[in-house]
Structure 1
Amino acid sequence: MSWKFLNKKPLSNERKYQVILAPVITEKATMGSEHNQVTFKVAADATKPEIKAAVEGLFDVKVEGVNTLNTKGKVKRFRGRLGQRSGYKKAVVRLAEGQSIDVTTGL
């Protein structure tokens, strides 16, 4: 049994809104909705348990699993000079059967 999960503190409402930044609306992310998955842009310091607690608290759904990945910013040219876009962290949240989140409406 892991001791670090015994001392879990509930997330404050402020931290929930700091963890979940925005939904990701792409063709690949919307294909995940067929498999009860929703993709969010999250804070870089957010952990998987924090993301799970934030999604369950904000949207009143049951989360089965969370996968995270860091996307690196692309190198682009602007007027002949090199620049780099900012990278960000994404979370793919798998919901329980029968649960859904409508990302087109706001909170």
Structure 2
Amino acid sequence: MITKNKLFEILSSPHVSEKSNRLLKKSNVIVLKVLISSTKSEIKLAIQKLFSVNIKCINTVLVKGKVKKHNRYNVYRKNWKKAYVTLQKGQKLDFINHVL
């Protein structure tokens, strides 16, 4: 049993980019930043419980952290996990335009 606090920990934030905005408009796919140790079934359960929407499928990607230069030092960004959530037809969940 997953508690409500755990549900909020699994879903970090929506990932806002040109690609995610295009996917949302074109094929009803939401892109979210999620906890790196979460599984597809945990992500699905969290979204269904928090937003009451039906999910068609979920794809996840581990994004490797980049190396950036800061003055003369190399700074390493963290690895993070991205989830592509495809909603079923007739379902709406839009974080960008504030439609829930």
> 2:72 matched to 1:80?
yes
Once the two structures are superposed, residues 32-65 of structure 1 have per-residue CA deviations (whole angstroms, 9 ceiling, x without a partner) of: 1120100000001100000001011111100110
Equivalent position to 1:93, from 85, 92, 98:
85
1:37 aligned onto 2:29:
yes
Structure 1 length-normalised TM: 0.85
Q: Deviations over 1:8-41 (max 9, x none)?
A: x4x3211110100000000011111120100000
What percent identity do the matched residue pairs reach? 33
- Identify unmatched segments of 5+ residues in structure 1: 1-8
Name the structure 1 match of 2:54: 62
Q: State the match for 1:16 in structure 2.
A: 7
Alignment gaps of 5+ in structure 2:
none
Whole-Å Cα distance in 1 between the matches of residues 5 and 75 of structure 2?
33
| Number of equivalent positions | 97
In the alignment, the residues of structure 2 paired with residue 62 and residue 45 of structure 1 have an alpha-carbon distance, to the nearest angstrom, of 23
Q: CA deviation at 1:87?
A: 1.4
User: Aligned ranges for residues 40-51 of structure 1 at < 5 Å?
Assistant: 40-51=32-43
Higher Cα radius of gyration? 1
CA–CA separation in structure 1 for the residues paired with 2:75 and 2:58: 32
CA displacement at 1:89 relative to structure 2: 0.4
Normalised to the residue count of structure 2, the TM-score between the two structures is 0.91
Moved over 6 A (4+): none
Residue 86 of structure 1, CA deviation: 1.2
Q: CA RMSD in A?
A: 1.3
